[in-house]
Structure 1
């Protein structure tokens, strides 16, 4: 190991066959690897870290350097700097013509959806998706880290996507695949074994959709499971004598177009009325002759990017508010990745007759035991 500069260590790793660069300092306030570009990058930044102490330096880089710096697309709220670390890694990508780069970064759920259209978080997601940099997001099981049990996600990004991935994003729910550790390490109580890792790796490598069939007995306990690839049929529920055994099929890998995560937030205005219920009309300026909007009745709607705004407005708004209109000057484009929503499977409640029958059986057992005690 030799010192290359103050606070910088450079060394060759014979195990991996490449040089390592370790720079002392704050990644966000001072780029210690300013002119470096990398083929592969892995990062596990702190979850939800506040960046108020370095806010002035980060905002200065954002304002003065724009896209020539690291934070051109936008800045997240000061209470969570996770997306700043993502932007830092993106700035270290090699140009695609030089071979490009691939990134793996572990984040919490906040960067997926925090911030509405036009916010810093949304603009960062917009930059990532509209430039087709996101390959996949993998949801990990909870309780995977020493100091927290929260849900975490691995984002995989690249500026050298293969042709079959262009314009697409794969979401993989790996939260079902874990085993208990023999001994907990702080909040870390679960781990993924080699079989779990191989399955998730294969789903990503094949860029395919898949489902998981969970075989449940009459008490709802899992007794078997099977991964279903496209075209596979789910197993048949066993006959355990209860009549309540079932097979629950849930998606574990889904593929979307990048624009599926985009939307436009439209501002819906309603007219201001006087005490007699008459619409107030503007008398001067740009509002002359136009109905005046009522700020108290103002609302917003999110329209998917792939849908026509006028058609959406006519279908979803006008039947309920015939006097409404859209203030087009306030329309904004936003992006979010509602991961859990895309993997939610509705389970209808049990029929009331079945619930009543169960309650009757339990009541009869309780009565029989009480009678046995008093006999």
Structure 2
């Protein structure tokens, strides 16, 4: 190995109060193995045994070795950075606990392998596409994480053209260009509807988020299919664009129908909580709804669902675990491993609370 090659894996350590460089050769000499084997072990590459990897990492820690990423970047095409540029407003991300926990899971998996997460929220799909072009041109990231797959989504094709490695949370990608990990939204919708049907609800409304998102479409399809199989008395599907004001107004409008829904399913906990507040306020002021509060279910779970009264029945998914698994999928791709096209992971759990306790006749 040349001196330049040694520098790529060089690290730093303090010894006798002075800063000195620790290289792969020091670790190799410590263990009596080749520098190539040390490099493979440090970077978790195939070609050395798990036992050798363990010994190398122990020796590196003992000697005080740590990677110098600036040196690595000069000698390779790696940036040790993964990009995440969801097309959502900053306010929207702050309101969604699922996305915040998802990002925590991403960071946990990436940081364990020495990768940083470059977060760049975008206000539109066009801005997100522009960010990917910029990152590719400047070789800013090694790969990207995609969320919120859309109908006729242009992102997989663009990233494929740019040569940027990507993993998708959701999907699957119809083009087959981006491997993905998804949650069984249609199966979860069926579980929610069975719960409501068991409580006697046969007039049910579903207040969706964005009709362009694949998971909203999957849930709507499952909702309509269940309603047809179970011969529900009436159903309503309304899109809110994740606007809490629109969700609340739509809920009040549907409750004024001659034969209103007795149960509502909402895309997120913020939509559910805002609508519950509006209905409770209206009921307190006017007593307009003889049947009282409708049953309410949220497709997202957070402290909000427990804090309001009545507490809201919701679908719980471990967003942190989901983020960690999506990150690991991308890490496998960056390491050159073969991965499957799409897998469904995690089994959401329906948390039954006060909002659906009452049984209707």
TM range (shorter): under 0.3
Larger strand percent:
1
Larger helix percent:
2
TM-score, normalized by length of structure 2? 0.21
